[in-house]
């Protein structure tokens, strides 16, 4: 009997306002368009009024969504294992796709019970609450932990969605090349595209910006990991260095550290006029269209989709070293790379983009490059090829 094209996504948890959830939504949407079905198997799901749309989208796109509130990666209960086994039989799941290494033990147990193999996407990132400790945490080696866990419970294949992750798996962890497949995280490049002059004017008016305003945005959870303090300090420095510049800043996203970050931002009347917090935004394209610059001074990143989205819209990006940075940015051509925790470097990069003609030229280069590399259809095509290879389904 021919195998069903059904894959089970396994995640420890789902935070509907983060990049992993965004990546899963894009991937599921693309898989569904080419005839694959996805069953979501997850632990706790978190969303708020702003991110409820993503929760609903994931629910609508999936064939089923089993939310196992007590799902424990290292001690999966017999009840949860039985529930997943029932889903395998009900939907004839041919492959598991594990998002995050923590669920690989569960995938190994399921392989023994059901015979279903798995592939895994590695999403290394470091999150925390203390901005004074995050840099050290981001740089601290965790190779020993990964070596033990990933070797013991290795999937049939790893998906590396940046060159950094590919090198980490091949060189640092020593996995053979045939077990690692580099597939860039893709986005809908028909949707994320440069605006027409009319579209640009409309969104600028919607957000209350004038043409003379230089709009710099940070899109990400309101968490110190994203470097909001560095962003705020850099903007203040840029304002002091170029007083005639009309600099406006959008902070887009939600998170449990909203109060502390806003307190840090609103130190003066000038800050109150400069920094605008929008919360979670459903239509991020409008943010990119109204923005001249996207800044992402994160202390740690896997491979941020917001950078690819902004670039496809022609928005010049400045980001810190981290996952996927060299895949996304060619220094001085498609953006700038700045060191961790360096507000002065970020400020200087912003100042380089004050010249409108130079900024527009770089924005065009961003859009041309990103739309060819981070295309959703290309991601889906390569992912399906890997699914077929690992599950025994013939490609057509």
pLDDT in tens, 180-195: 999 999 999 999 999 9
Q: Does one domain contain both 160 and 246?
A: no
Q: Does one domain contain both 379 and 300?
A: no
> Which tens digits make up the pLDDT trace of 252-298?
998 889 999 999 999 999 999 999 999 988 889 999 999 999 999 99
Q: Is the pLDDT of residue 149 over 70?
A: yes
What is the C-alpha to C-alpha distance for residues 195 and 156, in angstroms, rounded to an integer?
42
Q: Does one domain contain both 278 and 386?
A: no
Q: What is the pLDDT of residue 143?
A: 67
Residue 137: pLDDT band by 50, 70, 90 thresholds?
low
Q: Does one domain contain both 176 and 140?
A: yes
Q: What is the mean pLDDT of residues 142-168?
A: 84
Residue 126: pLDDT band by 50, 70, 90 thresholds?
very low
Within a domain: residue 279?
yes
When divided into structural domains, the chain yields a total of 2
Within a domain: residue 1?
no
Please list, residue by residue across 316-334, b when 16 or more beta carbons sit within 10 angstroms of its beta carbon and e when fewer do. bbbbbbbbbbebbbeeeeb
Q: What is the pLDDT of residue 147?
A: 76
Partnered with residue 159 across adjacent β-strands are 121, 181
* Residue pointed to by tokens 């400045």: 318
Query: Which range marks the domain in which residue 357 is found?
Result: 197-373
Residue 304: pLDDT band by 50, 70, 90 thresholds?
confident
CATH code (residue 228): 3.40.50.2000
Other Cβ atoms closer than 10 A to 56: 12
Q: Does one domain contain both 104 and 224?
A: no
Residue 151: pLDDT band by 50, 70, 90 thresholds?
confident
Q: Does one domain contain both 204 and 152?
A: no
Within a domain: residue 260?
yes
What is the C-alpha to C-alpha distance for residues 285 and 192, in angstroms, rounded to an integer?
6
What is the C-alpha to C-alpha distance for residues 257 and 235, in angstroms, rounded to an integer?
20
Q: What is the pLDDT of residue 139?
A: 44
Within a domain: residue 201?
yes
DSSP string, 24-45: HHHHHHHHHHTT-EEEEEES-E
Residue 179: pLDDT band by 50, 70, 90 thresholds?
very high
Global pTM value:
0.84
> Which tens digits make up the pLDDT trace of 41-96?
999 999 988 789 999 999 999 999 999 999 998 889 999 999 999 999 999 999 99
Residue 346: pLDDT band by 50, 70, 90 thresholds?
very high
Please list, residue by residue across 82-101, b when 16 or more beta carbons sit within 10 angstroms of its beta carbon and e when fewer do. eebbebbeebebbbbbbbbb
Residue 250: pLDDT band by 50, 70, 90 thresholds?
very high
Within a domain: residue 242?
yes
Q: Does one domain contain both 65 and 105?
A: yes
Q: Does one domain contain both 260 and 317?
A: yes
What is the C-alpha to C-alpha distance for residues 157 and 175, in angstroms, rounded to an integer?
10
Residue 142: pLDDT band by 50, 70, 90 thresholds?
low
Q: Is the pLDDT of residue 319 over 90?
A: yes
Q: Does one domain contain both 82 and 72?
A: yes
**Which has the minimum average pLDDT: 139-143, 279-283, 325-329?**
139-143
Within a domain: residue 191?
no
Q: Does one domain contain both 282 and 358?
A: yes
DSSP string, 132-169: HHHHHHHHS--HHHHHHHHHHT--SEEEESSHHHHHII
Q: Does one domain contain both 164 and 279?
A: no
**Which has the minimum average pLDDT: 139-148, 284-293, 320-329?**
139-148
Residue 134: pLDDT band by 50, 70, 90 thresholds?
low
Within a domain: residue 328?
yes
Q: Does one domain contain both 181 and 203?
A: no
In whole numbers, what is the pLDDT of the chain averaged over residues? 91
Within a domain: residue 35?
yes
Q: What is the mean pLDDT of residues 109-116?
A: 96
């Amino acid at each position: 009997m021919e195998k069903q094209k059904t894959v089970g996504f396994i995640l420890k948890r789902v935070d509907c306002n983060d990049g992993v959830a965004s990546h899963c939504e894009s991937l599921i949407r693309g898989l569904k368009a080419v005839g694959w079905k996805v069953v979501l198997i997850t632990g706790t799901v978190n969303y708020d009024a702003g991110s409820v749309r993503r929760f609903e989208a994931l629910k609508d796109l999936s064939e089923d969504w089993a939310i196992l509130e007590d799902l424990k990666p290292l001690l999966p209960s017999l009840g949860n294992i039985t529930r997943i086994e029932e889903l395998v039989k009900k939907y004839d799941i041919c492959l598991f796709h594990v998002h995050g290494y923590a669920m690989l033990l569960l995938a190994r147990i399921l392989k023994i019970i059901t015979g279903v193999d798995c592939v895994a996407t590695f999403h290394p990132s470091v999150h925390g609450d203390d901005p004074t400790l995050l840099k050290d945490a981001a740089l601290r080696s965790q190779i020993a932990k990964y070596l033990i866990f990933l070797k013991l419970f290795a999937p049939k294949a790893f998906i590396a969605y940046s060159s950094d992750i590919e090198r980490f798996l091949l060189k640092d962890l020593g996995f053979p090349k045939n077990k690692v497949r580099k597939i860039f995280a893709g986005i809908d490049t028909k949707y994320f595209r440069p605006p027409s002059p009319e579209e640009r004017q409309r969104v600028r008016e919607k957000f209350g910006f004038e043409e003379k305003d230089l709009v710099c945005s940070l899109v990400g959870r309101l968490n110190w990991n994203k470097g909001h303090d560095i962003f705020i300090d850099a903007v203040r420095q840029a304002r002091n260095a170029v007083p005639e510049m009309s600099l406006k800043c959008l902070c887009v996203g939600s998170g449990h550290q909203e109060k502390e970050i806003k307190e840090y931002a609103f130190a003066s009347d000038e800050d109150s006029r400069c920094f605008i917090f929008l919360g979670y935004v459903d239509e991020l394209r409008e943010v990119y269209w109204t923005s001249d610059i996207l800044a992402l001074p994160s202390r740690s990143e896997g491979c941020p989709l917001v950078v690819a989205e902004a670039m496809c819209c022609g928005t010049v990006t400045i980001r810190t070293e981290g996952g996927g940075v060299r895949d996304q940015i060619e220094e001085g051509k498609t953006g700038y790379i700045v060191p961790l925790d360096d507000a002065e470097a970020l400020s200087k990069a912003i100042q380089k983009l004050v010249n409108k003609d130079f900024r527009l030229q770089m924005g065009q280069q961003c859009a041309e490059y990103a739309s060819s590399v981070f295309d959703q259809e290309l991601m889906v095509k390569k992912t399906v090829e890997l699914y077929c290879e690992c599950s025994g389904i013939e490609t057509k």
